[in-house]
Structure 1
């Protein structure tokens, strides 16, 4: 179906990328808790796209679902996403931050620098990758600062060396309180059945209130949205009806816009039981991105000629993502960071109360109508 509104078109591209990326990861890591920020990963790779030409640029544009006729238009759409950030003292916080670290022997091309500083608020900094420990410390402390000390040690010193040409880093931080917080006195230990069937006892929160909810027979699941105060971002949970039904649900979700699920929810009285959880997840993304058709970026024939002032053969040697999430009685804290490393190739309503008991593996998303800020699943506690 063709979208006539540009606004929803850009959402469609991002949503599709999020769904395809997550589908690949969820299939390869069924028993592991996952949290990732598709919008962070896509932003980091969009920074690479702005420096790419030819078939490398075409592949990235298609693989990332980038909308817009030229690079400026693509960059403008990202500016809209990045501008969505909230950051008041008390209210919800959503913050995207971008930075580019370039080897001292290179300079970014002026065109590239203008694009990324105008639309991505991305400062560029020359560093000595040969001094790997110092440079890793510098990059990691920037990421830590942007994610309020949540994401630590994104880059290991041994990932950097004299051949590293550039590192593109994107960080995202989200913290918000529930509109309806879970009372502390209602939290107590309950059973949770892990992926694979093992029972464990976990601190489980509980409350009864009006929430947007639906039973989704086509997914064999129930869905619930927990809203946050002061923002249109919500925490969407999709809970399989069957104890070990997560793989079926995630297979069905592949290619589905989560907004289609949100549209089916309506305000109902729901008794919610949700485990408290906190975990982090990090993953090298090259294999997954290659599955999505983004291959040339990593190959010797990559064309990143718009990135640097004097161009020599340059390719991306690594894309890594790390994210962390904490869900408790008061709300949610989630953050993520992505880095993209470029390497110089040695050239140098009734009163019925619905039950929503999340006591087995479930899928979640932190999203609004335009963007999926985080996606994940809880498989074991």
Structure 2
């Protein structure tokens, strides 16, 4: 069976949910955004070079059960292909993954072949002892891959002659809403931050048909904003209680977001959503260790399949940074023009539901297969 690898939504969804839960709990008052699919892809690069219990931990932690390395690589190649050569009008989605390995260590040809075929030139030697130049090389590559959105991922002072390998991953997403928000609907409205402080923020507004549901078991409601020309959606889960985000996220831990999406139905909704832009970067080692991925970072790391000769290699850092901007046009950079197609005529007297995101909420950018981003807005 060529297709036994657990790259099913369940495998990725479980990893996404557990990782997000770890990070959200550790940063309750901070706006969080991360890309589970990007992080998992980057770590799959390490898995392809790992052996023994290091490989077992990665396979388990990333939920990659049941396949050989070449099958795992093929599955990820399929995921990465989703972002390439898309319809010009649809969202842009680019993954960037690379392992930088100290110059004195030679990468094994078989590893190079496996990753360059499936992950597009993903391993490179670098002289870490020249830390400023090494950081510049890494950062400019990431910047280029993310259309200048993600800058300064690695600080020069985190690299030195003892750095063995750095795993870098980035993702860029830009999508326009299927239903753009009219500029005239954006007004200053009140938002209750984490902790209760009220602030005035530019809040977008529109009334239209959206997939929506009340979720009494989560004490929340959910709504999906679709992106134009794509099956990717922006899912918002808004707790009923103003300060109910932590309790909601506790319940979401381990839950498959597709189960929530399946409960949504087309309803007429008056939607109010704040404009926001923020970036989030975090060293992932502590959260990954909580998920059982520990050996990768320690002296007993076994990454011998990555190297030509049997040098000792461990991953010294896994760094992730994501940037998000949500505005009237869509998500991330704006500027494309889009003529809205006429919707079916509004039924007179139909009940209009309210969805007012005026306090901390959870969001995801996803399709039925992958979770591209997870995040929460705690304060504006």
| 2:26 counterpart of 1:28 | yes
- Select which of 48, 55, 58 maps to 1:57: 55
* SS of 1:114 mapped into structure 2: helix
Please state how far the C-alpha of 1:7 moved relative to its aligned partner: 8.1
Cα distance in 1, alignment partners of residues 97 and 64 from structure 2: 18
CA displacement at 1:102 relative to structure 2: 2.5
Q: 1:40 aligns with which of 38, 47, 51?
A: 38
Deviation, 1:53, is 0.4
Task: Please give the alpha-carbon distance, in whole angstroms, between the structure 2 residues aligned to 1:273 and 1:108.
Answer: 52
Cα offset for 1:238?
0.1
Runs of 4+ in 1 over 6 A off after TM superposition: none
Correspondence 1:119 to 2:118:
yes
Deviations 1:209-230 (CA, angstroms, capped at 9, x unpaired) = 0000000000000000000001
2:90: which partner in 1? 91
> Which runs of no fewer than 5 residues in structure 1 stay unpaired?
335-348
Within 5 Å, which residues of 2 pair with 1:345-364? 351-364=350-363
3-state DSSP of counterpart to 2:230: coil
Taking the aligned partners of 2:307 and 2:5, their CA distance within structure 1 comes to: 31
Q: How many residues align?
A: 363
Alignment of 1:230-269 (within 5 A): 230-269=229-268
Work out whether residues 142 and 151 of structure 2, in 8 Å CA contact, stay in contact via their aligned partners in 1: yes
Q: Distance in 1 between matches of 2:5 and 2:225?
A: 25
2:261 is aligned with 1:298: no
Shift of 1:6: 5.1
- What CA distance in whole angstroms lies between the structure 1 residues aligned with 2:26 and 2:123? 35
On the 8 A contact 1:213/1:222 being kept in 2, the answer is yes
Give how far 1:16 is off.
0.4
SS at match of 2:153: coil
Q: Deviations over 1:55-83 (max 9, x none)?
A: 01000100011144211111111111111
Please say if residues 68 and 74 of structure 1, whose CA atoms lie closer than 8 Å, have aligned partners that are also in contact. no
Q: Is the 8 A contact 1:10 1:77 kept in 2?
A: no
The yes-or-no answer on 1:18 pairing with 2:16 is yes
Most deviating of 112-121 and 193-202: 112-121
Contact 1:128 1:135 in 2 (8 A): yes
CA contact (8 A) 2:170 2:321 kept: no
Change (3 A) 1:158 1:88: farther
**Gaps (5+ residues) in structure 2?**
334-346
2:205 paired residue number: 206
Q: Is the 8 A contact 1:10 1:67 kept in 2?
A: no
What is the CA–CA distance in structure 2 between the aligned matches of 1:62 and 1:42, rounded to whole Å?
Answer: 12
CA–CA distance in 1 between the matches of 2:110 and 2:222?
Answer: 46
Q: Hey, which of these two has a bigger chunk of strand by percent? A: 1
In the alignment, the residues of structure 2 paired with residue 308 and residue 98 of structure 1 have an alpha-carbon distance, to the nearest angstrom, of 18
